[in-house]
Amino acid sequence: MMQYEIPDDLLYAKTHEWARVDNLDVTLGITSYAVEQMDKEIVNIELPEKGRIVAKGESFGVVDSVKAAFDLYSPVNGEVTAVNKSILNQPEMVANAPYTEGWMIKIRMSNAHDLDDLMKSEKYKTFLESEEH
Amino acid sequence: MIPYLCSTEEEQKKMLAEIGAASLEDLFHSIPRELMTHTFPVLPPALREYELLREIRNIAGRNGISPKSVSFMGGGVYEHFIPSIVPALAGRAEFVTSYTPYHPEASQGNLQVFFEYQSLITRLLEMDISNASMYDVATALAEGVIMAAGQMSGRKRCLVAETMHPFYRDVLATYMKNFDLELVILKSTGGIVPLASLEKELDDQTVCAVYQHPNFLGCLENMNAASERIHASGALFLSVVDPISLGLLSPPGQYHADIAVAEGQCLGMPPWFGGETLGIFTCKKEFMRKMPGRLVGLTTDTRGKRGFVLTLQTREQHIRREKATSNICTNHALNAIKATIYLSAMGPSGMKEIAQTCYANAQYALSQIKQLGKYHIPFEGPVFKEFAVKARNGNVPELIQALAPKGFLVGPDLGAFLPEWKNCFLICTTEIRNRKEIDELVKALNALS
């Protein structure tokens, strides 16, 4: 299986978003696996406005590769408190640094238990192995 | 007797034998018996080709106009000159029979033409980008308004000049049924939309304002002033233009239109059946990813050679599905090819000459009609190729009917669109009209009243 960078301090969704949790603040982005699925060619990103209320499982944006468009799903209920606007003009930042400069939005979640459905890094790695077969 | 179908009975038998069917009826065996009908309307016997041609000619002969009719008809679809090179090249089988160029490896010829189309259109309208065309100006306009609304979330009002073609407004209203947008008409005076009308309605809830220039009445609007006011209020400016007029009038890029659409019929397409239409759609660079329709891009292949592809396809519905910017999935591509050939044949100097001739003809016709003293010119402002004429003694439909057998086609009857325009009709003089024809028209108008 291809080696993907999967940081240990993050939580992961089956839809390949990662979450960095700091009390009730959650930062979201997409994993290196997702980036690889798009041949590392991300050409366009659509993100919500600050203040938007998102529901768990709801799409909060779209990321386009050359050939396909992918919805971005929020793993939690909450309010968007920050949006990384710099990636809108430089979508390649997501491909190059998906866990750092390529972060997408921050949500103030209403219920920490929403995170219970997310996977820790080891479980996500196992999940990826099954995805690849 | 020449058969219409290309397979002989012998060939049909062979094909049936190959697939293991005993007869043609066998091919329908999967349809339940009870759903099959065995009674058919009685049709007359099949005609031979020459009998059929005669029959069709008889039917066509019932058209109320003679081949010698001279068209002075305006109102959105026009009889302009079509250079022979347009049908000669556009009629080539490679163009006529091609399908949508989603396979670039098999469509370089088409894709190149559409890329050239886009390039020529952006030059003509002086706008940043053009798509590879849409169906017609009305649907292009509706798509433009939808795109504008998408850019201005939270705002809900779309201002539309009363002097825009009422049919385009109707189409827009149809599209708006499914959007939470309010269509507001900007009232006109003297054949144009005065600034006061615009200022009265512009507010922080306005998505865009749409003006047609020259407008439906043939008059020129004040696009610079309108553009300034509209942009000052944070709204977008959409213009509907006549491509032929751009050989003389300032193109939309010059008055900073955000989105500019046009009917491309006058660029090499005949006015038959209400016109073969071509939706021209252009906009500023910043809307590139929100544009509807196809976009052709220039690229290189794996060997570094120049090639063309449909690009930014993630806007389209075969990828984005319900989130696509539009669900247009076809267009009038052959007409885009015709427009490209037309524009290449004309070039900038040809376009200038055509526009100047249209303008000169209209000025001449205007002055001659004014001199008769029997008709009134209701709108004072400058015009381009068509203008409104008011019949002093009412009945425009009768007037139009009376002129037709004399070989003159005028119209449409403007009163049919708006009560304020009652007793008025349009006269349009394209570049193919000449002085003699105009003189005869004026004579005929004189004889009528």
pLDDT at B4: 66
Set of chain A residues whose Cβ sits within 8 Å of the Cβ of B323: 62, 69
How deeply is B401 buried, as exposed, middle or buried, from its count of CB atoms within 10 A (0-12, 13-18, 19+)? exposed
Residue B398 has pLDDT above 90, yes or no: yes
Domains and CATH numbers, chain B: 70-83+348-448 (3.90.1150.10), 85-342 (3.40.640.10)
Nearest C-alpha of chain B: how many angstroms from A101? 23
Domain count, chain A: 1
Of A43, A65, A69, which has the smallest distance from its Cβ to B320's Cβ? A69
Q: Is the pLDDT of residue B160 over 80?
A: yes
**B289 closest CB neighbour out of A44, A65, A66:** A44
The model's pTM is 0.86
Residues in chain A with CB shorter than 8 Å from the CB of B319 are: 67-69
Question: Closest Cα of chain B to A130: distance in Å?
Answer: 26
- B319–chain A Cβ distance below 8 A for any pair: yes
How buried is residue B5: exposed, middle or buried, by Cβ count under 10 Å (0-12/13-18/19+)? Answer: exposed
| B314 in reach of chain A (CB within 8 A) | yes
Instruction: Between B64 and B445, name the one with better pLDDT.
Output: B445
- Summarize pLDDT for B322-344 with one digit per residue, the tens: 777 777 777 899 999 999 999 99
Give all strands (DSSP E) within A66-126, no chain letters.
69-73, 78-83, 105-109
Residue A109 has pLDDT above 60, yes or no: yes
Model confidence at B207, pLDDT cuts 50, 70, 90, reads very high
Q: How far is A43 from chain B (nearest CA, A)?
A: 9
Tokens describing residue B322: 């319900």
- Can you tell me the distance from the alpha carbon of B24 to that of B27, in angstroms, rounded to the nearest whole number? 6
**Residue A116 is assigned to a structural domain of this protein:** no
Whether chain A has a CB inside 8 Å of the CB on B108: the answer is no
pLDDT at res. B394? 76
8 Å CB contact of A67 and B320: no
Q: Which of B289, B314, B323 sits opposite A68 (nearest CB)?
A: B314
pLDDT in tens, B352-365: 999 999 999 999 99
Residue A24, in any domain of the structure: yes
Residue A47's domain comprises 11-111
CB distance B205 to B155 below 8 Å: yes
pLDDT of residue B2: 56
Q: How many CB pairs under 8 A join A and B?
A: 17
Question: Whole-number mean pLDDT of chain B?
Answer: 93
If you average pLDDT over every residue of chain A, what do you get? Answer: 93
B contacts of A65 (beta carbons < 8 Å) = 314
Neighboring chain B residues of A69 at a CB cutoff of 8 Å: 314, 319-320, 323
Q: Do A67 and B319 count as a contact with CB atoms less than 8 A apart?
A: yes
Please classify residue B309 by burial: count the beta carbons closer than 10 Å to its beta carbon, then call 0-12 exposed, 13-18 middle and 19+ buried: buried
Higher per-residue confidence, B9 vs A78: A78
For residue A72, what pLDDT is reported?
Answer: 96
Q: For a pLDDT cut of 70, what percent of chain A falls above it? A: 98
| Exposed / middle / buried, residue B166 (Cβ in 10 Å: 0-12, 13-18, 19+) | middle
Of B125, B408, B386, the closest CA to residue B267 belongs to: B125
A-chain residue closest to B153, CA distance: A49
Say if the Cβ atoms of A69 and B314 lie within 8 Å. yes
Distance between A91 CA and the closest CA of chain B, angstroms = 14
Distance CA B114, CA B360 (A): 33
The reply to whether A4 falls in a domain is no
In a domain, A1, yes or no: no
One DSSP character per residue, B391-406 reads ETTS-HHHHHHHHGGG
Task: Establish if A65 belongs to a structural domain.
Answer: yes
- The amino acid occupying position B51 is E
Yes or no, beta carbons of A69 and B289 under 8 Å apart: no
User: Please, which pLDDT band fits residue A131 given cuts at 50, 70 and 90?
Assistant: confident
**Least Cα separation, residue B321 to chain A (angstroms):** 10
Tell me the residues of A at the B interface, defined by beta carbons under 8 Å apart. Answer: 43-44, 62, 64-69
> Average pLDDT for residues B48-67, to the nearest whole number?
86
Given CB atoms, is B299 within the 8 Å cutoff of chain A? no
Q: Is A18 domain-assigned?
A: yes
Residue of A nearest to B289 (CA): A44
Residue A130 falls within a domain, yes or no?
Answer: no
Model ipTM value: 0.70
Name the band, by pLDDT with cuts 50, 70 and 90, for residue B99: confident
Minimal CA separation from A64 to chain B, in Å: 7
The answer as to whether A55 is a domain residue is yes
CB pair distance less than 8 Å for B323 and A68: no
Pick the range with the lowest mean pLDDT from A62-71, B226-235, B381-390.
A62-71
State the CATH number of the domain containing residue A15: 2.40.50.100
pLDDT in tens, B69-93: 999 999 999 999 999 999 999 999 9
pLDDT of residue B36: 83
Q: Which residues of A touch B320 (CB under 8 A)?
A: 62, 69
C-beta atoms of A67 and B323 within 8 A: no
User: Per-residue pLDDT averaged across B385-393, rounded?
Assistant: 93
A-chain residue closest to B320, CA distance: A69
Provide, as residue numbers in chain A, all residues whose Cβ is less than 8 Å from the Cβ of B104. Answer: none
With CA atoms as reference, the chain B residue closest to A42 would be B314
Q: Which residues of A touch B286 (CB under 8 A)?
A: none
Report pLDDT digits (tens) over B109-154.
999 999 999 999 999 999 999 999 999 999 999 999 999 999 898 8
Q: B-chain residues within 8 Å CB-CB of A62? A: 320, 323
